[in-house]
Structure 1
Amino acid sequence: MKELEGNPGKRPLPRNEPRPQLPVKRPRGMGRGQRAYWDQHAPELERLRILTGLDVPAMRLMAEHYTFALEAARILGEEGLIVEGRDGPKKHPAWQALRDASGMYLRLAAEFGMTPSARTRLQLPPEVEQLSLADLLFEAANGGEASE
């Protein structure tokens, strides 16, 4: 996570920190819209090493809030922004649902670097270099100096 957020303390980051290698599976029980959202965004987040198995609940919530916001927007599009209440015209209840779901979605999306401002703060780790056994042995024998 430090690699993504930066290193304000300027302390050396561990180089051999374990990194999850298992593919992240979409959780069961998601609706069609949520599955579509997951299938569209999860592979890219996983490729960037932002999404891990630990993030599945947050990613699922993000997909849920996204689909809630879309549904509220659909309802508003069909029924309009104003409905008739007991005391006369009032704001449609779906308006507040749209605001709440959109706000929560944006907060979660920022956690995954999925908003423009969040991306400016992300520092993606460099691609992991695959060294051969000979290079690893040479590096170990020469105090960390890799062969060219």
Structure 2
Amino acid sequence: MADKELTSWVLFLCLKGGEDLAIRGRKPKPTNLKLLEGNPGKRPLPTNEVRPKQKAPRCPQWLEDDAKKEWKRMGKILEQMGILTEMDMTAFAGYCQAYARWKEAEEFLSKHGSIIKTPNGYLQQVPQVSISQTNLKIMLKFCEQFGLTPSARNRLATMDAEVGTGDEMEDLLGGIL
């Protein structure tokens, strides 16, 4: 399957929600995200998870220009977090492409507005509104997968907080005073 076809398939599954895959319950979280969040329940972490090399994939040449810029911007962040690997190329490309299309639609809406008058005199929403909303949904689904939503960031524990200062009261107050 070609990269573009695979990306289209991933985008389709994201929009559809993956209902036809027959996977029920919560989606498992990658171990790296679990490590960053901490393990408050002290549950054993999976040891048999596939762990590809911690190397970010190369940006595909077929991405739109804005998608390539987003790839460079977010790719560095995700690689530093230890989340982005070679295996994530298609999913990350899908996110970046959705970002580029969302941005293009939003720029159009900012310039031209979201309503047009038809030849019959009716007011109608321009297609870019739907394009923007659809691509924003796709982006948010990918963001959830990569741990990039505000709620995911709030769950992430900083590495400093895990280590502690050695002073129990200082750790408890967390530098408030």
Q: Does 1:113 align with 2:147?
A: yes
Q: Deviation of residue 28 (structure 1)?
A: 2.1
2: distance between equivalents of 1:67 and 1:111?
19
Q: Does 1:94 align with 2:128?
A: yes
Letter in 2 for 1:75: F
Q: Deviation of residue 86 (structure 1)?
A: 5.2
User: SS where residue 33 of structure 1 aligns?
Assistant: helix
Instruction: State which structure, 1 or 2, has the greater radius of gyration over its C-alpha atoms.
Output: 1
2: distance between equivalents of 1:80 and 1:12?
50
Letter in 2 for 1:70: K
1: distance between equivalents of 2:158 and 2:152?
12
Which runs of 5 or more residues in structure 1 are unaligned?
Answer: 127-148
Please list the CA deviations of residues 61-109 of structure 1 after superposition, one character each: whole Å capped at 9, or x if unmatched: 1111111111111111222111123551111211111111111111111
2: distance between equivalents of 1:18 and 1:82?
49
Q: Deviation of residue 125 (structure 1)?
A: 8.5
Name 1:71's counterpart in structure 2: 104
User: SS where residue 93 of structure 2 aligns?
Assistant: helix
Letter in 1 for 2:135: A
> 1:108–1:5: structure 2 CA closer, same or farther, 3 Å change rule?
same
CA contact (8 A) 1:34 1:67 kept: yes
CA contact (8 A) 1:111 1:118 kept: no
> 1:109–1:79: structure 2 CA closer, same or farther, 3 Å change rule?
same
**Greater percentage in helix:** 2
Q: Does 1:4 align with 2:33?
A: yes
Q: Structure 2 length normalisation: TM-score?
A: 0.60
2: distance between equivalents of 1:40 and 1:118?
19
Which runs of 5 or more residues in structure 2 are unaligned?
Answer: 1-29, 161-177
Alignment length (residue pairs): 125
User: SS where residue 25 of structure 1 aligns?
Assistant: coil
User: SS where residue 33 of structure 2 aligns?
Assistant: helix
User: SS where residue 57 of structure 2 aligns?
Assistant: coil
Of 48, 53, 58, 2:81 maps to 48
Alignment RMSD, CA only?
2.8
